[in-house]
Chains A and B, each alone.
Chain A
């Protein structure tokens, strides 16, 4: 199932980030951005995520998905519209095909909330981001 592969990719990346951060004892929440055109069903993803987290540092973590509606803009006539599902990607006003997709393809881990073994202190240790 597609969403299982996506869930495993999310878990793998969070595990790696946790490994880099060091002494992460539990992940509480993973925040995802899922675009309308990302080809992912959020409910199915949540289901797979919960299953796949078992036995990892993410066990019990909540997956919060921020839905991003698809929006497009026509380059020639500047009309902007919600693409909908199934998406309409040619301009409904001038029928032009040179459309810019403004949003809707997002599929990214925005943030995580986790517990580390450190005691609260003013020193902040940066976590390197992967690019």
Chain B
């Protein structure tokens, strides 16, 4: 027989649970994750290279994982800093998931590591939906990408704890309008900090490390409006919703209770 069953499961519930577990496990080992998101070529690897060297110079124990669709080039670049680096090849998958990250950390993550930087797959669409157990989510955009990037990728920018502008050394040459960029960021993520950097000229290098260390030390991170989730369960219910097993059970014919509007059987 045909029945309508009420599930109410967040589609990404599994990833969210894995991320929470990973966050707690890493916190217990004193490790904080920084998730770096941007389009391909924005300069994640270049900036991270600098930040890793800076961390080494300051004797802060850090490590980095870099995800790429196919090549190991980024890991080789990052490894020049001398800190532990590992490449994740996603084999075409356009984002990392918490479970994948956990798998790659197993048996590899050295101790002690204060900060674990994760360079996500170059993509501003899907990685935004996947919590990796990070404490600080950083979204980067280079001055060449246009001031309206935050409006084109509102989920990515809207969920960022920190926004980093890269390649400011060529800002003038490409006519980057900093005020317009900041206004667009503010529209989708009011109050988020925007840092200006140039890995090439070593401008603003160390700021990302400062913010990450502050977050690791327990300083409050920015709370994006988009991440302030209301109670997700919005549909009307006839009965209460405290039992774990409400099956709006029945064959089609008798499905006439208050949930019919959302679980209307097809004719």
A interface with B by C-beta (< 8 Å):
1-2, 5-6, 9-10, 12-14, 17, 21, 28-29, 31-33, 37-40, 62, 66, 68, 72, 85-90, 96-97, 99-103, 105-116, 118-120, 124-131
Asked whether, in the complex, the Cβ of A29 is within 8 Å of the Cβ of B94, the reply is no
Residues of chain A within 8 A (CB-CB) of B8 are 108-110, 129
Q: Which segment of B55-63, B121-129, B136-144, B213-221 sits at the interface? A: B121-129
CB distance from A38 to the nearest CB of B (A): 8
Please report whether the interface of chain A is mostly helix, strand, loop or mixed according to DSSP.
mixed
Asked whether, in the complex, the Cβ of B228 is within 8 Å of the Cβ of A68, the reply is no
Per-position contact with A for B98-140: 1 when CB-CB < 8 Å, else 0?
Answer: 0000000000000000000000000001101100000000000
B interface with A by C-beta (< 8 Å):
1-15, 93-95, 125-126, 128-129, 150-152, 154-155, 158, 186-191, 225-226, 228-230, 232, 234-235, 243-251, 259, 262-263, 265-266
- The answer for the CA separation of A9 and B263 in the assembled complex, in Å, is 21
The 9 closest A-B pairs by CB, nearest first: A126-B245, A97-B190, A39-B155, A2-B126, A86-B151, A90-B190, A111-B263, A124-B249, A89-B225
Asked whether, in the complex, the Cβ of A62 is within 8 Å of the Cβ of B266, the reply is yes
Asked whether, in the complex, the Cβ of B1 is within 8 Å of the Cβ of A6, the reply is no
Asked whether, in the complex, the Cβ of B188 is within 8 Å of the Cβ of A110, the reply is no
Asked whether, in the complex, the Cβ of B230 is within 8 Å of the Cβ of A102, the reply is yes
Partner of B13, one of A5, A125, A126, A130: A130
Asked whether, in the complex, the Cβ of A108 is within 8 Å of the Cβ of B158, the reply is no
Residues of chain B within 8 A (CB-CB) of A1 are 94
